Amino acid sequence: MSYEEGDVSKSEVNKYLIEAIRDRNISVVNVGPFEAEYQGGWSEIRWLEENYPALLCAFNPSRVIDPRAVHVACMDRAPGWISVVKNGWQDNLFLDEYGYKSSCYPRVDGS
């Protein structure tokens, strides 16, 4: 939801993440729907690790009903999502206890 509706440049990667990795000369290769490999300088990768939750939770606020609530919930849950993926339990993201799916809703367009 980081892209404008109808944006033809949509990617599986959040637009704010794409901008950050481009600015920091980090390359990314998607290896799955929730996984990617990053390559770059040590300090750049460290910066990315520290700032990834904020980049993950960046979105176009006009695309959700309550932007503040969505952002707060996302930032609260992002470390858990990252841990789940790092441990290879991607399927668990959709369990209610992780709140991944519920954090993507409610969207303005209802989808």
Mean pLDDT per 10-residue run, the chain (111 residues)? 56 77 90 83 93 86 81 88 86 81 56 48
Contact call for residues 63 and 107 (beta carbons, < 8 A): yes
| pTM for the full predicted model | 0.70
Please tell me the predicted confidence (pLDDT) of residue 24: 94
User: CA distances (Å), 29 to each of 2, 13, 23, 34, in order?
Assistant: 19, 10, 16, 11
Give 68's strand partners: none
Crossing angle of helices 42-56/15-23, nearest 10°?
160
Contact call for residues 36 and 48 (beta carbons, < 8 A): no
Distance (Å, whole) CA 63 – CA 61 = 5
